[in-house]
Amino acid sequence: MPLLEIENLSVTFPSQTSDLYAVDGVSLTLERGDVLGIVGESGSGKSVAMLAVMGLVAFPGQVTADRLTFEGRDLLRLSDNERRALTGKDVAMIFQEPTTSLNPSFTIGYQLAETLILHEKMDRKAARRRTIELLDQVGIPAPEGRLDAYPHQLSGGMNQRVMIAMAIACNPKLLIADEPTTALDVTIQAQILDLLLSLQRDRGMALILITHNMGVVADTTARVAVMYAGQIMEERSTESLFGSPQHPYTAALLAARPEASDGGRLATIPGVVPGAYDRPRGCLFAPRCAYATPHAAECRPELRPWQNGLIRCHYPLGDTTRDERIAADRRAAPPAAAPEVA
């Protein structure tokens, strides 16, 4: 039984004029001890999808899914009490801004012990001992002295370590890290990523790393899902995704990185991510895609297996017949207006 199974998960935010599809039919399976990266630009739905797993999508957001299970338990039918027992114990999440995620009115020792007292039924003394252990594990020097510190007395990197300590306090089976290093300096970022990976290895915990940084994914994860406008565009092993991307969006993103340039001009993706009002009928990337055809603009592709991964594209880059099919589809209907360059 997989640890986490998501099938056709959608999160919509209804409004009077047109509903916003923040997450649109996302399916993912995660086994115990897996490390999965989810990459996407802002507004791609990567964070909202994971908030839905945590049951943290606030009103008026509506979460629907054909299947959303953790260890076989249906997450959509949990009572509030069952949800509280699960969150923070078996599934934990850390967020981007450590300093705003912690409560400024309580010491970090108190906030850490709270988890242990609640989930592990420890008494204060045992919780305090365990808290010191945890702070030590996440690399905070002289942990005894830090227990009575408030979040504002610590640096961003230290606060993120406290968040991680809190998340791993009850040995979760799944840790979701939402942009854990984006607010931190690069040298501290490397420390935090190393820490997360060593914890993941030592404890056999599954890790979902949400990020917009391709470099972070390449260095840390084994499998990547690329999201765009609420949908998964491509999912495969990190090595093959970076070696030979199959979706035009993935390829364009990789080519747009300054690291990928040889000093000349950077490859760019024209246009912007579609919003609530200009959501394309067909493939969501079609208005910005160099290979778009009238067929792709009308008919939304399904996520389907392709070369040891999954892809949502009519014309994957590694397909030998794609040039002919693109040409044929373009002949079949008059070409649409060229994508508007913003």
**Residues at the site binding another protein, with contacts judged by CB under 8 A:** 41-42, 141, 155, 157-158, 185-191, 193-194, 212-216, 218-220, 252-253, 256-259, 261, 263, 265-269, 272-273, 341-342
In this complex, which beta carbon is closest to another protein, that of residue 176 or of residue 184? 184
Write the CA distances from 305 to 60, 242, 334, integer angstroms.
34, 18, 30
In this complex, which beta carbon is closest to another protein, that of residue 66 or of residue 185? 185
Using a 10 angstrom Cβ sphere, with 0-12 exposed, 13-18 middle and 19 or more buried, the burial of residue 136 is: middle
In this complex, which beta carbon is closest to another protein, that of residue 8 or of residue 182? 182
In this complex, which beta carbon is closest to another protein, that of residue 75 or of residue 193? 193
To another protein, the closest distance from the beta carbon of 230 in angstroms equals 15
To another protein, the closest distance from the beta carbon of 279 in angstroms equals 16
To another protein, the closest distance from the beta carbon of 132 in angstroms equals 19
In this complex, which beta carbon is closest to another protein, that of residue 263 or of residue 305? 263
To another protein, the closest distance from the beta carbon of 212 in angstroms equals 6
To another protein, the closest distance from the beta carbon of 72 in angstroms equals 35
Cα–Cα distance, 164 to 193 (Å, whole number): 11
To another protein, the closest distance from the beta carbon of 189 in angstroms equals 7
In this complex, which beta carbon is closest to another protein, that of residue 109 or of residue 157? 157
